[in-house]
Structure 1
Amino acid sequence: MIFPEYCVTMARYNAWQNTQLRAAFDVLPDAELRRDRKGFFGSLLGTANHLLWGDMMWMSRFDGGARPEGGIADSVDLQPTAAAWAGERYRVDARILHWADKLRAIDLKGDLTWYSGAMGRDMAKPLDLCILHFFNHQTHHRGQIHAMLTAAGAKAPVTDLAFMPDEGPWL
Protein backbone atom coordinates (compact mmCIF):
# COMPACT_ATOMS: atom_id res chain seq x y z
CA MET A 1 0.00 0.00 0.00
CA ILE A 2 2.84 2.43 0.81
CA PHE A 3 6.53 2.76 0.02
CA PRO A 4 9.50 4.07 2.02
CA GLU A 5 9.47 7.26 -0.08
CA TYR A 6 5.96 8.01 1.15
CA CYS A 7 7.14 7.70 4.75
CA VAL A 8 10.10 10.01 4.13
CA THR A 9 7.89 12.60 2.43
CA MET A 10 5.36 12.51 5.25
CA ALA A 11 8.08 12.65 7.93
CA ARG A 12 9.48 15.75 6.23
CA TYR A 13 6.00 17.24 5.96
CA ASN A 14 5.42 16.57 9.66
CA ALA A 15 8.69 18.28 10.63
CA TRP A 16 7.98 21.25 8.32
CA GLN A 17 4.51 21.68 9.78
CA ASN A 18 5.72 21.45 13.37
CA THR A 19 8.49 23.97 12.71
CA GLN A 20 5.78 26.39 11.57
CA LEU A 21 3.64 25.61 14.63
CA ARG A 22 6.57 26.32 16.95
CA ALA A 23 6.93 29.74 15.31
CA ALA A 24 3.18 30.42 15.56
CA PHE A 25 3.13 29.43 19.24
CA ASP A 26 6.14 31.67 19.98
CA VAL A 27 4.13 34.82 19.27
CA LEU A 28 1.08 33.89 21.35
CA PRO A 29 0.85 34.59 25.07
CA ASP A 30 0.66 31.52 27.32
CA ALA A 31 -2.96 32.32 28.22
CA GLU A 32 -3.93 32.17 24.53
CA LEU A 33 -2.20 28.82 24.08
CA ARG A 34 -4.09 27.42 27.09
CA ARG A 35 -7.49 29.01 26.39
CA ASP A 36 -10.24 26.46 25.89
CA ARG A 37 -11.13 26.82 22.22
CA LYS A 38 -13.71 24.01 22.27
CA GLY A 39 -11.45 21.68 20.32
CA PHE A 40 -11.60 17.97 21.04
CA PHE A 41 -8.51 18.41 23.22
CA GLY A 42 -9.50 21.90 24.37
CA SER A 43 -6.69 24.33 23.80
CA LEU A 44 -3.92 24.86 21.29
CA LEU A 45 -1.33 23.49 23.74
CA GLY A 46 -3.60 20.61 24.76
CA THR A 47 -4.11 19.58 21.15
CA ALA A 48 -0.41 19.97 20.34
CA ASN A 49 0.44 17.87 23.40
CA HIS A 50 -2.03 15.17 22.39
CA LEU A 51 -0.51 15.03 18.91
CA LEU A 52 2.99 14.79 20.38
CA TRP A 53 1.81 12.02 22.74
CA GLY A 54 0.23 10.13 19.83
CA ASP A 55 3.40 10.42 17.75
CA MET A 56 5.47 9.11 20.63
CA MET A 57 3.06 6.22 21.20
CA TRP A 58 3.02 5.16 17.54
CA MET A 59 6.78 5.54 17.22
CA SER A 60 7.27 3.26 20.23
CA ARG A 61 5.30 0.66 18.29
CA PHE A 62 7.22 1.25 15.07
CA ASP A 63 10.79 1.54 16.37
CA GLY A 64 10.58 -0.16 19.77
CA GLY A 65 11.80 2.99 21.53
CA ALA A 66 10.44 4.90 24.49
CA ARG A 67 6.71 5.47 24.83
CA PRO A 68 4.99 8.32 26.65
CA GLU A 69 3.55 8.00 30.12
CA GLY A 70 -0.18 7.93 30.71
CA GLY A 71 -3.11 7.47 28.40
CA ILE A 72 -5.09 9.61 25.98
CA ALA A 73 -6.80 11.54 28.79
CA ASP A 74 -3.36 12.52 30.17
CA SER A 75 -1.98 13.45 26.75
CA VAL A 76 -3.12 17.09 26.93
CA ASP A 77 -0.73 17.68 29.84
CA LEU A 78 2.29 15.92 28.32
CA GLN A 79 4.42 19.09 28.35
CA PRO A 80 3.76 21.94 30.81
CA THR A 81 4.74 24.84 28.55
CA ALA A 82 5.00 25.74 24.89
CA ALA A 83 8.79 25.87 25.24
CA ALA A 84 8.92 22.36 26.73
CA TRP A 85 6.53 21.15 24.00
CA ALA A 86 8.75 22.73 21.30
CA GLY A 87 11.87 20.99 22.60
CA GLU A 88 10.24 17.58 22.81
CA ARG A 89 8.49 18.10 19.47
CA TYR A 90 11.88 18.76 17.86
CA ARG A 91 13.31 15.54 19.35
CA VAL A 92 10.34 13.43 18.28
CA ASP A 93 10.37 14.87 14.76
CA ALA A 94 14.06 13.94 14.49
CA ARG A 95 13.14 10.42 15.67
CA ILE A 96 10.43 10.14 13.01
CA LEU A 97 12.77 11.39 10.26
CA HIS A 98 15.49 8.96 11.32
CA TRP A 99 13.02 6.05 11.34
CA ALA A 100 11.60 6.95 7.92
CA ASP A 101 15.03 7.48 6.33
CA LYS A 102 16.14 3.93 7.11
CA LEU A 103 12.95 2.11 6.03
CA ARG A 104 13.07 -0.48 3.28
CA ALA A 105 10.02 -1.78 1.40
CA ILE A 106 10.17 -5.09 3.28
CA ASP A 107 9.98 -3.18 6.60
CA LEU A 108 6.46 -2.02 5.69
CA LYS A 109 4.99 -5.52 5.34
CA GLY A 110 3.25 -7.68 7.90
CA ASP A 111 1.08 -6.95 10.88
CA LEU A 112 1.66 -4.73 13.87
CA THR A 113 0.38 -6.02 17.20
CA TRP A 114 -0.04 -3.88 20.31
CA TYR A 115 -2.29 -3.29 23.28
CA SER A 116 -4.65 -0.36 22.68
CA GLY A 117 -5.63 1.54 25.80
CA ALA A 118 -8.28 3.36 23.75
CA MET A 119 -9.91 0.08 22.72
CA GLY A 120 -9.04 -1.80 25.91
CA ARG A 121 -7.69 -4.84 24.07
CA ASP A 122 -4.89 -6.31 22.03
CA MET A 123 -4.87 -5.19 18.41
CA ALA A 124 -3.35 -6.51 15.19
CA LYS A 125 -3.50 -4.53 11.96
CA PRO A 126 -1.42 -4.36 8.79
CA LEU A 127 1.67 -2.27 9.51
CA ASP A 128 1.24 -0.13 6.41
CA LEU A 129 -2.31 0.76 7.51
CA CYS A 130 -0.97 1.76 10.94
CA ILE A 131 1.66 3.99 9.31
CA LEU A 132 -1.01 5.63 7.13
CA HIS A 133 -3.05 6.23 10.29
CA PHE A 134 0.00 7.70 12.05
CA PHE A 135 0.53 10.35 9.38
CA ASN A 136 -3.20 10.96 8.92
CA HIS A 137 -3.59 11.49 12.68
CA GLN A 138 -0.90 14.18 12.55
CA THR A 139 -2.62 15.98 9.68
CA HIS A 140 -6.03 15.74 11.35
CA HIS A 141 -4.91 17.34 14.62
CA ARG A 142 -2.73 19.97 12.94
CA GLY A 143 -5.87 20.94 11.00
CA GLN A 144 -7.62 21.48 14.33
CA ILE A 145 -4.67 23.57 15.54
CA HIS A 146 -4.76 25.57 12.31
CA ALA A 147 -8.46 26.35 12.86
CA MET A 148 -7.81 27.35 16.48
CA LEU A 149 -4.91 29.62 15.46
CA THR A 150 -7.13 31.30 12.88
CA ALA A 151 -9.92 31.74 15.44
CA ALA A 152 -7.39 33.28 17.84
CA GLY A 153 -6.49 35.87 15.21
CA ALA A 154 -3.00 34.43 14.79
CA LYS A 155 -1.26 33.80 11.50
CA ALA A 156 -1.78 30.14 10.71
CA PRO A 157 0.95 28.34 8.76
CA VAL A 158 0.78 27.08 5.20
CA THR A 159 -0.37 23.46 5.36
CA ASP A 160 -0.58 22.39 1.71
CA LEU A 161 1.69 19.42 1.07
CA ALA A 162 2.20 20.65 -2.49
CA PHE A 163 3.86 23.81 -1.10
CA MET A 164 6.35 22.03 1.14
CA PRO A 165 9.86 23.22 0.27
CA ASP A 166 11.89 20.76 -1.80
CA GLU A 167 14.83 21.07 0.57
CA GLY A 168 15.08 21.19 4.37
CA PRO A 169 16.13 21.92 6.95
CA TRP A 170 13.22 19.87 8.19
CA LEU A 171 13.82 20.76 11.82
Structure 2
Amino acid sequence: MITNAAVRLLAQYNRWMNERLYAMADTLGEELRTADRGAFFGSVHGTLDHLVRGDMNWLARFENQPLPDFGPDALVCPTWEALLALRQQTDQHIDTWAGTVSDAWLAAPLSWYSAMYHQQMNMPAWIAVSHFFNHQTHHRGQVTTLFSQLGMDIGVTDLPMMPSLHHTTPD
Protein backbone atom coordinates (compact mmCIF):
# COMPACT_ATOMS: atom_id res chain seq x y z
CA MET A 1 0.00 0.00 0.00
CA ILE A 2 1.19 3.53 -0.70
CA THR A 3 1.28 6.11 2.08
CA ASN A 4 0.51 9.80 2.42
CA ALA A 5 4.23 10.50 2.01
CA ALA A 6 4.22 8.68 -1.35
CA VAL A 7 1.11 10.57 -2.49
CA ARG A 8 2.71 13.91 -1.64
CA LEU A 9 5.93 12.91 -3.44
CA LEU A 10 4.03 11.83 -6.56
CA ALA A 11 2.01 15.05 -6.52
CA GLN A 12 5.28 16.99 -6.40
CA TYR A 13 6.65 14.93 -9.30
CA ASN A 14 3.42 15.57 -11.23
CA ARG A 15 3.82 19.33 -10.89
CA TRP A 16 7.54 19.26 -11.75
CA MET A 17 6.95 17.28 -14.94
CA ASN A 18 3.87 19.26 -15.98
CA GLU A 19 5.75 22.55 -15.61
CA ARG A 20 8.50 21.21 -17.86
CA LEU A 21 6.13 19.75 -20.46
CA TYR A 22 3.99 22.85 -20.66
CA ALA A 23 7.04 25.11 -20.95
CA MET A 24 8.30 23.03 -23.88
CA ALA A 25 4.85 22.77 -25.48
CA ASP A 26 4.53 26.54 -25.24
CA THR A 27 7.55 26.91 -27.56
CA LEU A 28 5.87 24.86 -30.30
CA GLY A 29 3.30 27.41 -31.34
CA GLU A 30 -0.34 26.62 -32.04
CA GLU A 31 0.13 24.82 -35.36
CA LEU A 32 2.71 22.29 -34.13
CA ARG A 33 1.03 21.89 -30.73
CA THR A 34 -2.34 20.97 -32.26
CA ALA A 35 -1.11 19.01 -35.30
CA ASP A 36 -2.32 15.41 -35.39
CA ARG A 37 0.80 13.30 -34.86
CA GLY A 38 -0.93 9.93 -34.83
CA ALA A 39 -0.91 9.68 -31.05
CA PHE A 40 -3.90 8.15 -29.27
CA PHE A 41 -5.22 11.66 -28.54
CA GLY A 42 -3.85 13.09 -31.78
CA SER A 43 -1.69 16.00 -30.81
CA VAL A 44 0.42 17.34 -27.97
CA HIS A 45 -2.53 19.58 -27.07
CA GLY A 46 -5.02 16.70 -27.28
CA THR A 47 -2.90 14.47 -25.05
CA LEU A 48 -2.36 17.20 -22.44
CA ASP A 49 -6.09 17.97 -22.57
CA HIS A 50 -6.94 14.30 -21.95
CA LEU A 51 -4.57 14.25 -19.00
CA VAL A 52 -6.15 17.26 -17.27
CA ARG A 53 -9.60 15.73 -17.92
CA GLY A 54 -8.51 12.49 -16.26
CA ASP A 55 -6.94 14.31 -13.32
CA MET A 56 -10.10 16.29 -12.69
CA ASN A 57 -12.27 13.16 -12.89
CA TRP A 58 -10.08 11.27 -10.42
CA LEU A 59 -9.97 14.18 -7.99
CA ALA A 60 -13.77 14.34 -8.07
CA ARG A 61 -13.95 10.62 -7.26
CA PHE A 62 -11.40 10.94 -4.48
CA GLU A 63 -13.29 13.86 -2.94
CA ASN A 64 -16.72 12.23 -3.42
CA GLN A 65 -17.85 15.02 -5.76
CA PRO A 66 -19.82 14.82 -9.02
CA LEU A 67 -17.67 14.34 -12.10
CA PRO A 68 -17.13 17.46 -14.19
CA ASP A 69 -19.44 17.59 -17.22
CA PHE A 70 -17.01 17.86 -20.14
CA GLY A 71 -19.02 16.15 -22.86
CA PRO A 72 -17.75 12.87 -24.32
CA ASP A 73 -15.60 14.00 -27.24
CA ALA A 74 -14.90 17.71 -26.92
CA LEU A 75 -11.64 19.09 -25.69
CA VAL A 76 -11.88 20.39 -22.15
CA CYS A 77 -9.78 23.38 -23.24
CA PRO A 78 -9.70 24.12 -26.96
CA THR A 79 -7.29 27.04 -26.45
CA TRP A 80 -3.73 26.81 -25.17
CA GLU A 81 -4.25 29.62 -22.68
CA ALA A 82 -7.27 27.88 -21.15
CA LEU A 83 -5.44 24.54 -20.99
CA LEU A 84 -2.39 26.08 -19.34
CA ALA A 85 -4.56 27.86 -16.75
CA LEU A 86 -6.59 24.72 -16.00
CA ARG A 87 -3.40 22.64 -15.69
CA GLN A 88 -1.97 25.07 -13.14
CA GLN A 89 -5.26 25.13 -11.22
CA THR A 90 -5.53 21.32 -11.29
CA ASP A 91 -1.93 20.85 -10.14
CA GLN A 92 -2.63 23.16 -7.20
CA HIS A 93 -5.73 21.10 -6.44
CA ILE A 94 -3.67 17.88 -6.57
CA ASP A 95 -1.05 19.36 -4.22
CA THR A 96 -3.72 20.49 -1.74
CA TRP A 97 -5.55 17.16 -1.92
CA ALA A 98 -2.31 15.18 -1.49
CA GLY A 99 -1.59 17.07 1.72
CA THR A 100 -4.93 15.94 3.18
CA VAL A 101 -4.83 12.24 2.25
CA SER A 102 -4.51 10.00 5.29
CA ASP A 103 -3.12 6.50 5.38
CA ALA A 104 -6.50 5.37 6.76
CA TRP A 105 -8.30 6.84 3.73
CA LEU A 106 -5.82 5.15 1.39
CA ALA A 107 -6.58 1.78 3.01
CA ALA A 108 -10.36 2.31 2.93
CA PRO A 109 -12.59 1.15 0.06
CA LEU A 110 -13.34 3.54 -2.79
CA SER A 111 -16.39 3.00 -5.00
CA TRP A 112 -17.45 4.73 -8.21
CA TYR A 113 -19.24 3.98 -11.44
CA SER A 114 -16.89 3.67 -14.41
CA ALA A 115 -18.44 4.99 -17.61
CA MET A 116 -15.45 3.55 -19.49
CA TYR A 117 -16.02 0.00 -18.23
CA HIS A 118 -19.79 0.38 -17.67
CA GLN A 119 -19.65 -1.04 -14.18
CA GLN A 120 -19.40 -0.21 -10.54
CA MET A 121 -15.79 -0.23 -9.36
CA ASN A 122 -14.76 -1.05 -5.79
CA MET A 123 -11.20 -1.25 -4.53
CA PRO A 124 -8.96 0.14 -1.82
CA ALA A 125 -8.37 3.84 -2.46
CA TRP A 126 -4.60 3.34 -2.64
CA ILE A 127 -5.01 1.27 -5.82
CA ALA A 128 -7.08 4.01 -7.49
CA VAL A 129 -4.57 6.65 -6.36
CA SER A 130 -1.72 4.55 -7.75
CA HIS A 131 -3.57 4.39 -11.06
CA PHE A 132 -4.15 8.18 -10.96
CA PHE A 133 -0.41 8.86 -10.81
CA ASN A 134 0.44 6.04 -13.23
CA HIS A 135 -2.05 7.46 -15.76
CA GLN A 136 -0.31 10.83 -15.57
CA THR A 137 3.12 9.28 -16.13
CA HIS A 138 1.85 7.17 -19.04
CA HIS A 139 0.44 10.12 -20.96
CA ARG A 140 3.35 12.44 -20.15
CA GLY A 141 5.52 9.71 -21.69
CA GLN A 142 3.44 9.95 -24.85
CA VAL A 143 4.00 13.71 -24.94
CA THR A 144 7.76 13.31 -24.49
CA THR A 145 7.71 10.89 -27.44
CA LEU A 146 5.89 13.48 -29.55
CA PHE A 147 8.52 16.04 -28.55
CA SER A 148 11.28 13.60 -29.46
CA GLN A 149 9.71 13.10 -32.89
CA LEU A 150 9.90 16.88 -33.31
CA GLY A 151 13.61 16.83 -32.42
CA MET A 152 13.04 18.21 -28.91
CA ASP A 153 14.60 16.73 -25.76
CA ILE A 154 12.74 17.23 -22.48
CA GLY A 155 15.77 16.00 -20.56
CA VAL A 156 15.80 13.66 -17.59
CA THR A 157 12.34 12.66 -16.38
CA ASP A 158 13.32 10.20 -13.66
CA LEU A 159 11.74 10.82 -10.27
CA PRO A 160 15.05 10.48 -8.37
CA MET A 161 16.40 13.40 -10.42
CA MET A 162 13.62 15.77 -9.35
CA PRO A 163 15.49 18.82 -8.04
CA SER A 164 13.98 18.63 -4.56
CA LEU A 165 15.32 15.07 -4.20
CA HIS A 166 18.62 15.41 -5.97
CA HIS A 167 21.18 16.17 -3.31
CA THR A 168 24.89 15.96 -3.56
CA THR A 169 26.79 14.49 -0.67
CA PRO A 170 29.56 16.53 0.90
CA ASP A 171 33.12 15.34 0.30
TM-score computed with the length of structure 2 as normaliser: 0.90
Q: Give the C-alpha shift of residue 66 in structure 1.
A: 5.8
1:102 aligns with 2:116: no
4+ aligned runs moved over 4 Å, structure 1: none
TM-score computed with the length of structure 1 as normaliser: 0.90
- For residues 105 and 51 of structure 1, the distance between their equivalents in structure 2, rounded to whole angstroms, comes to 26
- For residues 137 and 124 of structure 1, the distance between their equivalents in structure 2, rounded to whole angstroms, comes to 18
User: What percent of counterpart residues are identical?
Assistant: 39
- For residues 123 and 47 of structure 2, the distance between their equivalents in structure 1, rounded to whole angstroms, comes to 26
| 1:81–1:66 Cα change, 3 Å | farther
Aligned 8 A contact 1:24 1:155 in 2? no
Deviations 1:95-126 (A, max 9, x none): 00001112221121121111111011211122
Question: Alignment partner of 2:136: what SS?
Answer: helix
Structure 2 counterpart of 1:4: 4
Gaps of 5+ in 2: 166-171
Q: Give the alignment's Cα RMSD to 1 decimal.
A: 1.5
What is the count of residue pairs matched by the alignment? 165
Q: Which structure's CA Rg is the greater one? A: 2
Which one-letter code corresponds to 1:47 in the other structure?
Answer: T
Structure 1 counterpart of 2:73: 74
Deviations 1:8-63 (A, max 9, x none): 00000000111111211111111111111111111100000001000000000112
- For residues 65 and 27 of structure 2, the distance between their equivalents in structure 1, rounded to whole angstroms, comes to 33
